[in-house]
């Protein structure tokens, strides 16, 4: 039952990221970061680079670049939790990219947005967010999320 709920949530997030987040407009609703416990679910890891990263309010905004141009790409952010016990607390956020078989090589850029509210720590009013992306060694971005 737990894995069914996780799979359903993941499917919803992938659909939303493919349908709403890829237009790059500020009025597109952010998608929640998917909690992930490593239980049998895998995420696409097609190459991308994070060109810019910022936080506005409760929203993580990433400008990503990737090869493509012939198909819609999907992006999902997931966090293995729990919050990393540092001062202030920290959270790893992994960005998954599914090129959906797109073999084109034009350099594409998109803005993707994710709600950071699932990462809030009870014992603090801020969290360090460490963004990791496929094809990137180390952190693609390190940001401070204050709430």
92-114 pLDDT, tens digit each: 999 999 999 999 999 999 999 99
Rounded Cα–Cα distance for residues 36 and 91 (Å): 12
Instruction: Locate 136 and state its tokens.
Output: 């990137």
Is the domain spanning 2-146 CATH 2.60.40.2370? The answer is yes
9-49 pLDDT, tens digit each: 333 333 333 333 333 334 555 776 776 666 656 788 999 99
pLDDT of residue 131: 96
Instruction: Locate 97 and state its tokens.
Output: 């990219």
45-67 pLDDT, tens digit each: 999 999 999 999 999 999 999 99
pLDDT of residue 25: 39
Threshold 0.85, pTM exceeds: no
Judge contact between 19 and 112, C-beta under 8 A. no
- Where exactly are the structural domains of the chain? 2-146
Backbone angles phi, psi at 16, to 5 degrees: -65, -40
Rounded Cα–Cα distance for residues 127 and 24 (Å): 26
Q: Which of 96, 44, 45, 101 is nearest to 71 (CA)?
A: 101
H/E run at residue 55? strand 49-56
């Amino acid at each position: 039952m737990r894995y069914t709920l996780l799979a359903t949530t993941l499917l919803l997030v992938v659909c939303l990221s493919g349908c709403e987040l890829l237009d790059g407009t500020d009025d597109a609703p952010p998608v929640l970061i998917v909690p992930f416990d490593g239980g049998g679910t895998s995420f696409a890891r097609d190459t991308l680079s994070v060109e810019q990263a910022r936080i506005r309010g409760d929203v993580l905004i990433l400008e990503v670049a990737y090869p493509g141009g012939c198909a819609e790409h999907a992006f999902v952010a997931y966090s293995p939790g729990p919050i990393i016990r540092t001062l202030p607390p920290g959270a790893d956020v992994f960005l998954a990219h599914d090129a959906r078989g797109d073999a084109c090589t034009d350099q594409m850029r998109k803005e993707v947005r994710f709600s950071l509210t699932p990462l809030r720590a009870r014992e603090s009013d801020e969290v360090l967010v460490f963004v990791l992306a496929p094809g990137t060694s180390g952190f693609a971005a390190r940001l401070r999320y204050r709430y």
